[in-house]
Amino acid sequence: MHVHPRKPGGPELPEVHGHHGPEAAYAVAAEAVLPTTKWGEEVARGLELGLPGADSIVDRRIPTFSRGELPHFAGINTFLKAPYVEDVRRCGEYDVAVLGAPFDGGTTYRSGTRFGPQGIRKISALYGPYSFELGVDLRESITIADLGDVFTIPGNIEKTFDQISKAVSHVYASGAFPVVLGGDHSIGYPTTRGVAPHLNGGNLGIIHFDRHVDTQETDLDERMHTTRGSTPRTSRTSRRGTWCRSASAGGRPRGRACRSGASAARRS
């Protein structure tokens, strides 16, 4: 549930003045024409599943049990309070499927990013799918589901890569768009590897934001977060490539990479 302040049922506002800056003028105009169909359905669902609010509650859109977007501090955390879909065979029923990859076995410095998916989901609850500034309510344009997390294998980067690739491949093949929450950035390789078989020889573009390149084959004598995407030498598909400038061999797609923020290392 989210109260659209300029929609029927929301509080009355005075006439909009003509002195907005360009960003505010855009937001007001965009918000005025946003549909409210899915928002209304979410309110109705909350009242049905969460029971109508107590008699003392004036706003009758508020249920007894929190169901939906509000309040931001309540509820079971999923990404943007999207519905949790336990049966991953149903992910194709949605436009976007969010999945976590809680893995930090590839980091060479600070561990802890295995808790990243939990943290991202928690902070996403503060914002929700509606943005007045952007004039967007994701509920009205796409459907989103949260599939939970991939079962990663602590201490084994290759098995974890296989798990992530299989999960991403399943989601992509279903027709849903996979959004992966990490995790250290070694997971970029198995993510692209999961998409590759479904491109029918097409290209995959990658936009990479990083302070430095981080694409060497090994770090500290092992495949770590910097892995460029070759498979172990014992594998039948052993070829060299990089998840940032993806090679077409070994199940990795051809493509182009755009890297932002990279700089040469400096040592004092």
14-31 tens-digit pLDDT: 456 677 788 888 888 888
- Name the residue with higher pLDDT: 268 or 121: 121
Q: If we measure between CA atoms, which residue out of 99, 158, 132, 96 comes closest to residue 5?
A: 132
CA–CA dist 107, 120 (Å, integer): 19
How much is the average pLDDT of 70-95?
95
Backbone angles phi, psi at 247, to 5 degrees: -90, 155
pTM for this one?
0.78
d(CA 74, CA 122): 10
> Which DSSP symbol is given to 212?
S
Domains of the chain by start residue, with CATH: 1-69 (no CATH), 76-260 (3.40.800.10)
Cβ count within 10 A of residue 18: 6
- Residue 260's DSSP bridge partners are 209
Mean pLDDT of 253-264: 54
Q: Pairing mode, if any, of strands 136-137 and 130-131? A: antiparallel
C-alpha 237/C-alpha 254 separation (Å) is 16
Q: What is the pLDDT of residues 103-140, one digit of tens each?
A: 998 887 788 999 999 999 999 999 889 998 888 999 99
> Residues 171, 178: contact at Cβ < 8 Å?
yes
